[in-house]
Amino acid sequence: MSNSDVDVVVVGAGFAGMYLLHELRKMGFSTRLLEAGDDVGGTWYWNRYPGARCDIATTDYQYTWDPELYTQWTWSEKHAAQPEILRYAQFVAKKHDLYSGIEFNVRADDATWDEKAKKWNIGTSKGETIVCRHYVMATGCLSVPKDPDIVGTERFAGNVYVTGRWPHEGVDFTGKRVAVIGTGSSGIQSIPIIAEQAKEVVIFQRTPNFSMPAHNGPPPQYRVDRLKADREAYVQEARLSGTGVPLEMATVSALSVSQETAFEMLEESRQKGELLAIGNTFMDSGINRQANEVVAEFMRTKVRSVVKDPEVAELLSPYKHGYGTKRPCMDTGYFETFNQPHVRLVDLGVNPIETITETGINFGNESLEFDAIVYATGFDAMTGAIVGVDIKGKNGMTLKKKWEFGPLTYLGLTSVGFPNLFMITGPGSPSVLSNMMVSIEQHVEWIRDTLVAMREQGFDTIEPTPLAENGWRVHCTDCADITIFQDANSWYMGANVPGKPRVMLPYIGGVGRYRMACDEVVRRGYLGFELTGVGKTQCNDGLIRQVQPDVDMVLEMMGTLNLPAIESMTPTGAREFSEASSAARPPGPEVGEMLDATLAGAAGDLAYRLYRPATAGPHPVMVYFHGGGWVFGSHLSDDPLCRELCVQSNTLIISVNYRHAPEARFPAAAQDGFAALKWVHENASSLGGLPGKLAVGGWSAGGNVAAVVAQMARDNDGPALSGQLLLCPVTDGSRQHQSHLDNADGYILTRSLMEWFWNHYADTDDRNNPHASPLLAHDLSGLPPAMVVTCQFDPLRDEGDAYAQALSAAGVAVNHVQARGHIHTSITMVDMLPSGAPYRRQMAEGIRTFFAHG
Ligand code: NA7
């Protein structure tokens, strides 16, 4: 126990530290485990306030690593109360002789990396310095109570209680006047019980919270049955799920059903009494504000139905944050408590606390006296406990300083400049957005396996690279950006602690996807890590997740569908397939008017659809050419995109069909495109267009047609164009570009499909014709201003980039947007992929700019 030079120092004897100790011992590592409290249990050791319970059902909130525990321990309730969870932790610690490896009542005060020795020196509250190779913070996400940021807290002479530091002997509030400050989970769980005892309770509420009845009782039978039937399968499902609890994936949009149906579905979820059920009723309540509002309003109706005083009900109803964007709560009789005559709610929004006094609280125009004040004011979440230890890494840099503007980690496990430091459920990992047990076990196992691999391969240090860490930050931000979580002033965002940087602290991409990323890092030779040993270094630098998270989900979903390759079909089959795929997509926004008609093409009539903005005309006009590799698609196939561009750019869009290959090969599409442009130009006024304000645009093969048509217009004395919008355009069929190889497969448009398109459209010789490959034009000067959008994971990326560069070199004004993490099709997927929305907004802005200038 007193070995002062060990392989690993672990701080914290909660569920993370306990399991880690077990695994490190098993693998033969020497360890010291320091714990500030005098027993195991972590969160469940400290949070002993009345009513403290776990909101995740006991079928899921338990260790899975020791299968015997499933039979040796029986949970009495669905949502275990704190004493039972603490007993469980003690039971496990005894069973596995963990107590002998834990030093209680010892804090880690500081930790300093010794670059020469490649070891950490851990300074303890007992004045000892422990030397270790690896240092693991298993300090929990909600372990440092937030400093009470209320004037006068130190003045109060009565009893003061903090929910996260509750006295072990308990508190009896019988006959007392009690103030409770804070209505997060701790407040919501404890208030009904405090009110049962106290003479008078005043609840000071800054923000009302969403809460649902826990419906506590025996563990849910359907989960017990599934566990019994096939425990491994159940556990595996949890590990690969979004939240660490097996749940059926929601497939219905809250906006696709009537409010009545939505409320019925929500009621069914609510009756389950499971924390994640309501948020999982609809597929879009976490990413779409309107969808979320359906859920929020449902929850508010429930408050109104319970709380008798309508004014109090209104005060208890959240309006300022979406459901789930702050941690929703589970309660037992919380809202009912406010119907009791001795319970009063104070809305701090209207009546802020002026000061706490020796005898009570002054707020608004009132002054109330209390015997006790309960602070249920929350925690310095996720980072508080980590930077609470003075951790100095390479070159004396402290972690606190490094994280001044928000935590920077690779995988939420490690941080650049701090070799051999690991965090369990650290910021940048799913942690508090998951069933903590699942996330804890995954991190412990990842760390264990990493230390074993290092030992086997003779490495002494492991540290992430700046590239990988920054890439992970970008990925975490991308994940958060597609949700509405960032709207709320939550502790997820650090918003509850004054001065704390506002960043999304947990990883919101899901437990399963996160696990897959961690596993892939290992499989790819510790991608993004530098490992060093005596005379050896290994560094497979790189980025683990670059595709936008919502795009990634679509790719994954398509992967599971085992769809046939389009290039294996006949053109007719491909057309049917493409039409069937479009049928199920969201329609896009409403436009002022849509009109279907025909115009004169190069060899007969062509169908077109006109999209008119709802604003008063006349409007500028853009002739739009659809994608589909010249083989399939129609004037209707990019309908949602055309609608969105119409609405957002306030432009009249005319989407034109053109003849398709192989029936009509090159140059039919280009000729039709040019004929359509001329027709629209001649008929602009009667269509409601502004004469002289004409542009072309298109996506993919349609981008090719648009680029070619712009060249034809220049070379044939008009029509004069204000701009050309080219989204993922085909610009060069004459040769191979690097992106054809880099993105050959796996991103929907494949290299072989592109070849199939070309083969149907043009002979090898024709591919060298600038009207097939506009990049090959001898002269690109004099063309209209261009907006070129290319996507990182598109086989066509480089030819689009090359066209933008060539236009610019020829003196054409070019707005070149490179969409990071996107694929050939993703920007067109209106209302399906939120990460594409900013690019569509940019495109609309680009269209407006064309017309502003010309
Ligand atoms: P929370 O969820 O952070 O709740 C703290 C509550 O205290 C919340 O209502 C805060 O309002 C309120 N608060 C914080 N500071 C103040 C001040 N200065 N004045 C008035 N009110 C204040 O912590 P909990 O302990 O309840 O729950 C933490 C997690 O533990 C929980 O989510 C579960 O995961 C388990 P605010 O909302 O910030 O306006």
What spacing in Å lies between the alpha carbon of 42 and ligand 1's midpoint? 19
Q: d(Cα 803, Cα 708) in Å, to the nearest integer?
A: 12
Closest CA relative to residue 286, chosen from 504, 103, 539: 504
Q: Could you tell me which residues come within 8 angstroms of residue 670 by beta carbon, excluding any fewer than 6 positions away?
A: 705, 708, 709, 712, 771, 772
Report pTM: 0.94
Mean pLDDT in residue range 240-265: 94
- Return the pLDDT at 853: 64
Q: Which residue's CA is the closest to the ligand 1 atom numbered 10?
A: 182
Instruction: With H, G, I as helix, E, B as strand and everything else as coil, classify residue 260.
Output: helix
Average pLDDT score over residue span 798-814: 98
User: Of 141, 142, 185, which is best to mutate to test ligand 1, by the most ligand atoms within 8 angstroms of its C-beta?
Assistant: 185
Q: Band the pLDDT of 63: cuts 50, 70, 90.
A: very high
Residue 540 has pLDDT above 50, yes or no: yes
Rg of the Cα atoms in the chain? 31
Residue 828, φ and ψ in degrees, nearest 5: -85, -5
Mean predicted confidence (pLDDT) in 490-501? 95
User: Residue 586: which pLDDT band, with cuts at 50, 70 and 90?
Assistant: confident
18: its two tokens: 């306990």
SS3 labels along 438-465: HHHHHHHHHHHHHHHHHHHHCCCEEEEC
843 pLDDT band (50/70/90 cuts)? very high
SS (H, E, C) 381-400: CCCHHHHCCEEECHHHCEHH
Kindly report, residue by residue over 398-423, the tens digit of the pLDDT.
999 999 999 999 999 999 999 999 99
| pLDDT surpassing 70 at residue 203 | yes
Ligand 1 midpoint to CA 319 (Å): 17
pLDDT tens for 378-390 read 999 999 999 999 9
Q: How many helices and strands, by DSSP H and E, does the chain display?
A: 25, 29
494: left (phi over 0), alpha (psi -120 to 50) or beta: left
| Ligand 1 center from residue 206 Cα (angstroms) | 9
Best of 186, 348, 362 to mutate for ligand 1, by most ligand atoms within 8 A of CB? 186
pLDDT of residue 583: 84
- pLDDT exceeds cutoff 90 at 147: no
Work out the average pLDDT over 503-529: 97
Q: What is the pLDDT of residue 748?
A: 95
Q: Does residue 1 surpass a pLDDT of 80? A: no
Pairing of strands 390-392, 108-114: parallel
- pLDDT number for residue 631: 97
pLDDT score, position 581? 86
Give the largest Cα separation in the chain, rounded: 95
Mean pLDDT in residue range 358-364: 97
Q: In Å, how far are 3, 191, 294, 505, 734 from 148, measured between CA atoms? A: 39, 19, 35, 21, 68
Residue 558: φ, ψ to 5° = -65, -35
Ligand 1 center–CA 146 separation, angstroms: 9
Stretch 190-211: mean pLDDT? 98
Mean pLDDT (whole number) for 420-436: 98
Q: Which two tokens stand for residue 50?
A: 């009345």
Q: Are 497 and 380 in contact, with CB atoms under 8 Å apart?
A: yes
Query: How many A from CA of 500 to the centre of ligand 1?
Result: 15
pLDDT tens track for 743-758: 999 999 999 999 999 9
134-146 pLDDT tens trace? 999 999 999 999 9
Is residue 530 scored above 90 in pLDDT?
A: yes
Q: What pLDDT, on a 0 to 100 scale, did the predictor assign at position 193?
A: 98
First to last CA, the chain: 79
Cα 324 from chain centroid? 13
Q: Give Cβ neighbours of residue 256 (< 8 Å, ≥ 6 apart).
A: none
- Ligand 1 atom closest to the Cα of residue 377 is 7
Predicted confidence at residue 437, as pLDDT, reads 98
Q: How confident is the model at residue 661, as a pLDDT?
A: 96
Closest CA to 547 of 732, 337, 823, 830: 823
Of the pLDDT bands very low, low, confident and very high (cuts 50, 70, 90), residue 214 is very high
Residue 324's pLDDT band (boundaries 50, 70, 90)? very high
If you take atom 31 of ligand 1, which residue's CA is the nearest one?
185
Q: Which atom of ligand 1 is nearest to the CA of 329?
A: 32
Whose CA is closest to atom 14 on ligand 1? 377
How far apart are alpha carbons 194 and 178 in whole angstroms? Answer: 8
Share of the chain above pLDDT 90, in %: 96
Q: What is the pLDDT of residue 2?
A: 65
Q: What is the pLDDT of residue 3?
A: 86
Residues with CB under 6 A from ligand 1: 142, 149-150, 163, 181-187, 204, 206-207, 327, 348, 376-379, 491, 496
**Tens digit of each residue's pLDDT (9 = 90 or more) over 616-675:** 989 999 999 999 999 999 999 999 999 999 999 999 999 999 999 999 999 999 999 999
The atom of ligand 1 lying closest to the CA of 149 is 18
Which protein residue has the closest C-alpha to ligand 1 atom 36?
Answer: 207
Q: How far apart are CA 418 and CA 461, in angstroms?
A: 10
What is the per-residue pLDDT across 35-48, written as a single tens digit (0 to 9) for each? 999 999 999 999 99
Residue 84's pLDDT is 98
174-197 pLDDT tens trace: 999 999 999 999 999 999 999 999
Confidence at 28, pLDDT banded by 50, 70, 90:
very high
Average pLDDT score, the chain: 96
Strand partners, 698: 625, 726
Q: By C-alpha distance, which of 319, 298, 295, 315 is closest to 307?
A: 315
CA 465 to chain centre: 23
For range 538-556, the mean pLDDT: 95
Mean pLDDT over 764-776 rounds to 97
Q: How many CA atoms lie within 13 Å of 711's alpha carbon, on the beta-carbon side?
A: 22
